[in-house]
Amino acid sequence: MEFEIVKNIAVIRFDDQKANAIGPIFIDQLNSALDQALVDAEAVVLSGRTGMFSGGFDLNVFKKGPLASQQLMSSGAQLLLRLFTLPLPLVVSCTGHAIAAGAFILLTADTRIGTTGNFKVGLNETAINATFPTFGSQLALARLNPSYLTRSFVQAELFNPIEAIAAGFLDRAVGSETVLEESIEVAQQLAQLPTDAYVKNKLDIRSPYIHAIQESLGVDESS
């Protein structure tokens, strides 16, 4: 995972040369990068590599047994909650496929800029005989277009980037050669807004979903 500051914006790139699977190392590295961003930056951009944002949780971890699976789901949920409540503007540069937990990262962000092309975005859990934990249902309810909710959440429909805008996973889609540049520009624009008001208003409109996720995780909401 790469971290750099570009004109007061923390740009965090992940590229494992595969599916950018979300496993223990990914989670630890992203949390460390977010820690640094809170010190050094005024907004955050998350980016994958060309053609792949993230394929979701690392399925190899689930093969290790119930304990490893539970630990990954717990730490993954905590990471998604952190992104959803981040006290800085958060922009995602969706550079390609974003599936399952990769798509959930999109739902945590304030602005999502995708890449046009033959890419898939969405939640495939039903198709692989998986059910959603509370953080999944709450993020979907918070951000997806209600008219697409059943198609996405229940029927496991995957969308191309243009369709993903209508569904609520993305806000717009641009060419791959400009997606990161435009994401940084948007982050810079958002960073110009008063931070305290930005964060309070973001948390206020998300509060019912935040509280439901916190309750499911046993998080002390006063902390």
Residue 188 scores a pLDDT above 50: yes
Three-state SS annotation for the chain: CEEEEECCEEEEECCCCCCCCECHHHHHHHHHHHHHHHHHCCEEEEECECEEEECCECHHHHCCCHHHHHHHHHHHHHHHHHHHCCCCCEEEEECEEEECHHHHHHHHCCEEEEECCCCCEECCCHHHCCCCCHHHHHHHHHHCCHHHHHHHHHCCCEECHHHHHHHCCCCEEECCCCHHHHHHHHHHHHHCCCHHHHHHHHHHHHHHHHHHHHHHHCCCCCC
Residue 219 is predicted with a pLDDT of 63
Residue 82 scores a pLDDT above 70: yes
Residue 218 is predicted with a pLDDT of 83
Domain ranges of the chain: 2-217
Residue 213 scores a pLDDT above 80: yes
* pLDDT tens-place string over residues 156-167: 999 999 999 999
Residue 198 scores a pLDDT above 80: yes
Residue 97 scores a pLDDT above 90: yes
Fold of the domain built from segment(s) 2-217: 2-enoyl-CoA Hydratase; Chain A, domain 1 (3.90.226)
* pLDDT tens-place string over residues 40-71: 999 999 999 999 999 999 999 999 999 999 99
Residue 3 is predicted with a pLDDT of 98
Of the two residues 221 and 133, the one the predictor is more confident about is 133
